[in-house]
Amino acid sequence: MHVKTDNLLLNRYKILSKLGSGGFSDVYKALDTRMERVVAIKQIHVSRHSAPRALREAQTVALLNHPNIVTLHEFEEDGDECYLIMELIEGVPLSKILAKLAPLSTEEAITVATQICRALEAAHLNGVIHRDVKPENVMILHDGRLKVMDFGIAMLKGTAIATSGDIIGTFAYMSPEQARGEPVDERSDIFSLGTVFYEMITGFIPFNGGTAAETLNMVQNVGPDLPSKINPVIPEEIGRCVMRALEKNPQSRYASAADFRTTLESCRSSAKPIEEILSNLINRYISIDEGLGSRKGAGWRGHLWLFLDEHYESITRTTVALLLSLPFLPILKTWFSLPRSIAVFGTAMIFIMVLLQPNYGIGITFFLFLLATIKHSPGLSLILLFFLLPYWALISRRWPSLSVWPIAGALFGLLRIPFVFPILIGLLADPIAAALISGMGCVAFELLNIFLKESTSPELIQGYGLWSLIKDQSNPIFVAQLISGPFLEDRTLFFQPILWSLVAVTTSIVKGNRRWFTAAIAGFIVLTIGYQGLFVVNFNRQEFDMGELMQSLSFSLIILLLLPIFRPPPEDASTGSDLAIDKLTE
């Protein structure tokens, strides 16, 4: 039955607009002409399945009167239709906020979770179990209030399940006992809220398989990773709190939503009012959402950055997987004399491994590279073990994508455009991240040339051919002396990473929100002056030909002047310019 907007519904409600629709219902914004208030009307199309649900939702919500639960005004029936007349709440679902802002700050996540706890406390005191706590059913209003919605599959505690063994709810957020079709109590909602809280602080759903069966198996049998393993800034007490809520055994969870809320509130470090925190969260979402919307009308650049925003994770993972896997193609073919087909297959397996699980995939890739270098130089393998193991444990395991970006410094050297690297990083990252990535990228570039016979950039560093010198060397001390030799011979190699970091920082600071062209020029000027100081003034480089350097710098300048063409649109000043790397460092 279609609701006609030119007639009064139920001789009382004037339909203003349609807000949404689902499998069994439509939701309208309407004016209650009798009470002179705007309401939301949930029109449920009666069927064998929907009629009991509509009646149950009306009965359960009617029991509840709480600021954090949507208010039900009336329940009406008219022929083949049922109508839930509810308060109109205008805000943003938590699911949309997480899609744009996750992970939230600890303060924001605790505030949201404690408000949901209050709603569940009220429901549980009235014997109502929600059974479908998830971000889609949590609405944050513009004035800083929070409402829990959709009690459509809620049940009264102690009542029988409709059909024994039924699995009702959203798989990724349901409790293990709910996934098994068993009777549930308050602790089932606590598990679901724990899943939502985990997603808020990490940006990941802890139980999310490729299929429904895999998800249900994870909910029942697989323990989630510690939140701090995904997001290192999460305090230890917060991690313990969420892990207790996600215990498989209901007896091990918090006994009530009040207990969960009390523990969460004890972890708060701020005295800011709840409404202020939630209002700021909404405003932050709106500013980003408006920025993304403005891109759609900003031509091809707007569409480009909108695409990057929507797919940044998959793009980043793919790039990282390529950077780590492609070197294994020549390694397997040349070092181990494997047929091309097997080398391609092995490289593809490494690519898939890093793509699907970057943090552990990077560690396994490091290990495979260590094993490969044993064939050429056991001494080098031991040195790499000394550096790569702590690098993975301290950096790659926590920030997998960020830890691989410095490899691009060597790649830019192979492409004969090393000068572009620090400026490009400065355009994409904040100053601190830009400095670290550029400095480490410069070291990667220098080491590449030290091992090659012919330098990729002779005006910056000569090729030392160490790869052939360390062949079959098993003494790591001797190998370390060979590697450190060029740095001792040419002190420029010590100061060049500092220069690249300075260039990246200058570029990032000057860039601000959208001054890409000015920032690229500023970075280029610092780069030119810096190399003049390094190579002309001192450091035993009197024989250096400054003309070759200026020729390379001129070629790089042409590329750098093209980069601002791809800058984010001006309307996107607050959201997009640091997309590529800043999101990796959150």
Expressed as residue numbers, the domain containing 483 is: 405-586
Q: Judge if 498 and 462 occupy the same domain.
A: yes
Confidence of residue 544 (pLDDT cuts 50, 70, 90): low
């012919």: which residue's tokens? 454
Residues 62 and 107 in one domain: no
Residue 2 located in a structural domain: no
CA atoms of 119 and 130, how far apart (whole Å): 10
CATH of the domain at 63: 3.30.200.20
Which one is predicted more confidently, 104 or 298?
104
In tens, the pLDDT along 470-505 reads 988 999 999 999 999 888 888 888 889 999 999 999
Beta bridge partners of 15: 30
The C-alpha atoms of residue 36 and residue 282 are separated, in whole angstroms, by 28
In a domain, 497, yes or no: yes
Same structural domain, 265 and 190: yes
Burial of 82 (0-12, 13-18, 19+ CB in 10 A): buried
Q: Does residue 472 form part of some domain? A: yes
Q: Are residues 185 and 240 in the same domain?
A: yes
485 and 349 both lie in a single domain = no
> Do residue 281 and residue 253 come from a single domain?
yes
- The answer to whether residues 446 and 331 belong to one domain is no
Asked if residue 121 belongs to a domain, the reply is yes
Question: What does pLDDT average to over the chain?
Answer: 83
Query: Do 248 and 155 reside in the same domain of the chain?
Result: yes
pLDDT single digits (tens) 429-459: 888 889 999 999 999 999 999 999 888 887 7
- Domain end position, chosen among 345, 372, 398: 398
How does residue 536 score in pLDDT terms, banded at 50, 70 and 90? low
Sign of CA dihedral 514, 518, 522, 524: positive
Per DSSP bridges, beta strands 138-141 and 128-129 are unpaired
What pLDDT sits at residue 579? 40
Buried b (16+ CB within 10 A) or exposed e, 220-253: beeebeebbebbeebeeebbebbbbbbbeebeeb
What Cα–Cα distance (Å) separates residue 167 from each residue in 77, 133, 137, 179, 327? 28, 15, 18, 6, 48
Contact (CB, 8 A) for 152 and 53: yes
Active site residue 132: yes
473 within a domain of the structure (yes/no): yes
Q: Which of 32, 132, 490, 578 is catalytic?
A: 132
- pTM value is 0.56
Is the pLDDT assigned to residue 269 strictly greater than 90? no
Q: Is the pLDDT of residue 369 over 80?
A: yes
Same domain, 228 and 127: yes
Number of domains in the chain: 4
> What CATH number corresponds to the domain at position 99?
1.10.510.10
Is residue 221 included in any domain, yes or no?
yes
> Is residue 292 one of the residues assigned to a domain?
no
